[in-house]
């Protein structure tokens, strides 16, 4: 069960988390403000209430996890979100990352392949606050061709390779932030900028650890 009560204590813990994220090198004030505003504990089972603001990933069911706040901040900062950017997210999971993007006034299209996790968001707590967030059940490798092209694409699971269909669904000038499997373990965070219809520039960042991006739908 999730519990929707944002107490003074939670707000204090969020403030401390912001300090941790600053110490780890996050500098984008809009991203920090989103994380400071959104009650992360709303996206977790109430059993995690006491620890929801630790900089850790937690289980959300179906063998999946809510990303670590540092990872959410890092990916969001790399995406350089602008108001009304059309953003495709692969891996809705708890919907915490998608909510951060929605708070930054992006138009968010998020896809989840696990039916149970997708259905959990039918009761999304911030439905009225963020009408700019839309949920889809499907395979992220396919993207959402009828809704594209997108300004930004974010993948929140460990990708075995850069999905070509997602590159095709990006606008020229658009960016993708994606953790790609490394030969000796973990994932390298990459930012791909589409510089022309058939050209991209790739930048390489830190190593992270994600649950796998899997082919097809489940359930």
Contact window for ligand SAH (CB under 6 A) among 24-32, 76-84, 85-93, 120-128: 85-93
Residue 167 or 214 with smaller CB distance to ligand SAH: 214
Under the binding rule (CB under 6 A), the answer on residue 211 touching ligand SAH is yes
Tell me how far CA of residue 99 lies from CA of 50, 161, 198, 203, 217, in angstroms.
21, 26, 32, 26, 23
Which one of 26, 41, 67, 106 is in contact with ligand SAH (CB under 6 A)?
67
Q: Which of residues 149-188 bind ligand SAH (CB under 6 A)?
A: 156-157
Residue partners of 17: CB distance under 8 A and separation at least 6: 35, 36, 40, 53, 54, 55, 69
Stretch that binds ligand SAH, among 2-10, 25-33, 58-66, 175-183 (CB under 6 A): 58-66
Span of 13-21, 44-52, 61-69, 186-194 interacting with ligand SAH by CB under 6 A = 61-69
Q: Are 82 and 171 in contact (CB under 8 A)?
A: no
List the beta bridge partners of residue 87.
108, 152
Q: 195 or 215: whose CB is closer to ligand SAH?
A: 215
Q: Are 42 and 2 in contact (CB under 8 A)?
A: yes
Query: CB 68 → ligand SAH: shortest distance, Å?
Result: 10
Helix axes 96-103, 69-79, angle to 10 degrees: 40
- In the bound state with ligand SAH, the residue whose beta carbon lies nearer, of 13 and 177, is 177
User: What is the rounded distance in angstroms from the CA atom of residue 166 to the CA atom of residue 151?
Assistant: 11
Measured CA to CA, the distance from residue 126 to residue 130 in angstroms comes to 6
Q: Is 67 a catalytic residue?
A: yes
**φ, ψ at 146 (rounded to 5°):** -75, -15
Site for ligand SAH in 92-151 (CB under 6 A): 93-94, 96-97, 111-114, 117, 139-141
Query: For residues 39 and 91, which CB has a smaller minimum distance to ligand SAH in the complex?
Result: 91
* Eight-class DSSP state of 35: H
Phi/psi for 154 (5° steps) reads -125, 130
- Judged by beta carbon, residue 112 or residue 151, the one nearer ligand SAH is 112
- Catalytic annotation, pick one of 46, 67, 94, 204: 67
Looking at the annotation, which residues are catalytic? Answer: 67
Q: Which residues bind ligand SAH (CB under 6 A)?
A: 64-67, 90-91, 93-94, 96-97, 111-114, 117, 139-141, 156-157, 211, 213-214
């Amino acid at each position: 069960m999730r519990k929707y009560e944002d107490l003074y204590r939670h707000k204090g813990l969020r403030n401390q988390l912001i300090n941790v994220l600053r110490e780890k090198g996050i500098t984008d004030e809009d991203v920090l403000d989103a994380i400071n505003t959104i009650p992360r504990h709303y996206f977790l089972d109430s059993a995690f209430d006491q620890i929801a603001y630790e900089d850790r990933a937690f289980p959300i069911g179906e063998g999946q996890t809510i990303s670590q706040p540092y990872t959410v901040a890092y990916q969001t900062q790399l995406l350089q979100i602008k108001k009304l950017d059309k953003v495709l997210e692969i891996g809705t999971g708890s919907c915490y990352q998608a909510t951060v993007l929605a708070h930054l006034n992006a138009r968010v299209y998020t896809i989840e392949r696990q039916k149970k996790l997708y259905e959990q968001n039918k009761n999304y707590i911030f439905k009225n606050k963020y009408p700019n967030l839309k949920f889809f059940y499907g395979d992220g490798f396919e993207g959402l061709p009828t809704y594209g092209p997108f300004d930004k694409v974010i993948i929140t699971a460990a990708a075995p390779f850069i999905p070509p269909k997602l590159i095709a669904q990006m606008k020229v000038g658009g960016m993708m932030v994606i953790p790609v499997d490394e030969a000796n373990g973990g994932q390298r965070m990459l930012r791909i900028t589409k510089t022309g219809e058939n050209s991209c520039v790739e930048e390489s960042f830190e190593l992270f650890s994600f649950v796998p991006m899997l082919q097809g739908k489940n359930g």
